[in-house]
Amino acid sequence: MRVIILKNAHEVARWSAYQITKKILKFNPTKEKPFVLGLPTGSTPLATYRELINLYNEGILSFENIVTFNMDEYVGLKPEDPQSYHYFMNENFFKHINIKKENINILDGCADDLEKECHDYEEKIKKAGGIQLFLGGVGEDGHIAFNEPGSSLSSHTRDKDLTYDTILANSRFFDNDIEKVPKSALTIGVGTLMDSKEVMILANGYKKARAVYHGVEAGVNHLWTISALQLHRRAVLVIDEMAASDIKVKTYRYFKEIEAKNLDLEKYKKYLIKDSKKS
């Protein structure tokens, strides 16, 4: 696992957006061979989405041949509901870039048969050739997507009851009223995430420090689903200084040293501009 430690949330957003762009440019997607990108919702990736939009507006990145699969969706919320993840993604990302509508995939939380919806989603991912890169965030309790503590580390897309902690954390999007928060969601599984060719997880702030510790230093444990990343062949955890608070000083120094040459954001962007002209 790579661990990228940056100063603050703004740098996390820039680095993650640059890394995604680098992977897409290197892949050089076409209509016949699109780049398949997994995406999250929540507050953490918002800044990354803004950086990707900036890169698109600057002509460095195109989403014309990108296919996306989102991690999750609330059960019972229609796509036009302002709190649905369909709405979130469109307002915060999709409507600002040149992605084709038919290339956007989000679970339907209002499907008549939720089990079939989840099965078909997995099959659609396989038909697309699998996820090249899955971007995600992590909850304070270490959950990735809606794979709450205790989730099977081999799980695939399914419906999942949400814990009280997750409902409480998400109530900020529902007028701080936990009664308004859906009690279940459709979510990709830990196994779905692990099937991706690469995984990038973002974490900002001290509240995420314990989750980062379990993801990096503690053992693999289904009570902290982020820990499954330790078993992935190409996983990168992108965090800020506050989120690194609970890891050992020796661990912190190790990752800062081995990634030192990869942390110059200005140089990274110049590389992307140069690379985009070759595409």
| Residues assigned a catalytic role | 72, 141, 143, 148
Whole-angstrom distance, CA of residue 115 vs CA of residue 95: 30
Whole-angstrom distance, CA of residue 93 vs CA of residue 49: 6
Query: Which of 111, 21, 12 shows the shortest CA–CA distance to 57?
Result: 21
Whole-angstrom distance, CA of residue 143 vs CA of residue 166: 9
**Looking at the chain, how many residues does it have?**
279
Phi, psi of 125 (to 5 degrees): -60, -45
78-89 b/e (C-beta count within 10 Å ≥ 16 → b): eeebeebbbbbb
Q: Which helix (H) or strand (E) holds 72?
A: strand 72-74
* Residue 106 tokens, joined: 């989000």
Q: What is the DSSP letter of 162?
A: P
* Residue 123 tokens, joined: 């099959």
Query: Which of 268, 206, 207, 198 shows the shortest CA–CA distance to 237?
Result: 198
